[in-house]
Amino acid sequence: MTLTIESRIQLVSGHTMPLLGFGVYQNFTTRASVLEALRAGFRHVDSAQAYRNEAAVGEAVKDSGIDRGELFITTKCISKHHGYESTLRGVDESLAKFGFEYIDLFLIHDPYSGTERRLATYRALQDARDAGKIRSIGVSNYGIKHLEEIADAKYDMPAVNQIELHPFCQQRPIVDYCREHSIVVQAYCPIMRGKMDHPIIQTIAQNHGRDAAQVLLRWSLQKGFVPLPKSATPERIRSNAQLYNFELEPEEMEQLDGLDRGKEGSISWNPVDAP
């Protein structure tokens, strides 16, 4: 299958999600950055309540003139706000900040709140989905045991698990579990916060006349992940969308796969082992 910037993946919820997303973590020019990303062809924006920029994302969507139905917008509920009632309130607050009638994907941002509150939060998201406020439910930074507690509670399995993913931190057991249970894997930190000077990455980039970030994003796409690169630089935003007129060879994919350092390769908070 030939990938394009319009490529989408089917979620267990029945909805589809663009395969390339635009992250806005620590983005202090969110409205302008999202507008630039939309001009570059992105149709998927990944925000969170903790990022404090849902309103700016909503403004960019409105100002873009693009039909809301063409866009896929994600937000997340962080652990300090977990719990049934607080999550329901948070969904309404996020809708108000975005200025939307629905949110495409609502994630539990991390698993730090413990089993009881995690499950109460998940139940609230299911109820908000049933009320039409959310289209798909997912989780972020969930390890296998966190996913299994959802299954054990007989709740619907999440549509998405968003985890740190790049060649140095491949989280293979979690990825395998997600694939077995039709959970789409989103990759945050896909360009490793710019730490891309490894000789293998640089050599592959030179072979294709590409920059290292494009190679890492292409690796992520070819692995079947949904990468979420973030940038506030217009040139970089546009460059990160130009991934579709080259392909990594099988041996290049193998070389990048061979860079995995397990947990030692993590560059972010990566709380997949939370109790």
Residues identified as active-site: 51
- Paired residues of 10 in beta bridges: 16
192's torsion region: left (phi>0), alpha (psi -120 to 50) or beta? left
d(CA 97, CA 84): 20
Backbone phi, then psi, for 224, in 5-degree steps?
Answer: 90, 10
SS (H, E, C) 89-116: HHHHHHHHHHCCCCEEEEEECCCCCCHH
Q: Which residues contact 47 (CB under 8 A, 6 or more apart)?
A: 24, 53, 54, 57, 73, 74, 75, 76
Q: CA quadruple 214, 75, 159, 258: dihedral positive or negative?
A: positive
Are 267 and 169 contacting, i.e. CB atoms less than 8 angstroms apart? yes
- 44 appears as a binding residue in the annotation: no
d(CA 98, CA 134): 13
Order the strands of the 103-108 sheet from edge to edge: 22-23, 44-46, 72-77, 103-108, 134-140, 160-164, 184-188, 226-227
In whole angstroms, how far apart are CA 254 and each of 11, 191, 219, 260? 28, 18, 10, 11
The DSSP output letter for 69 is G
Binding-site sequence positions: 109
Binding-site sequence positions for substrate: 109
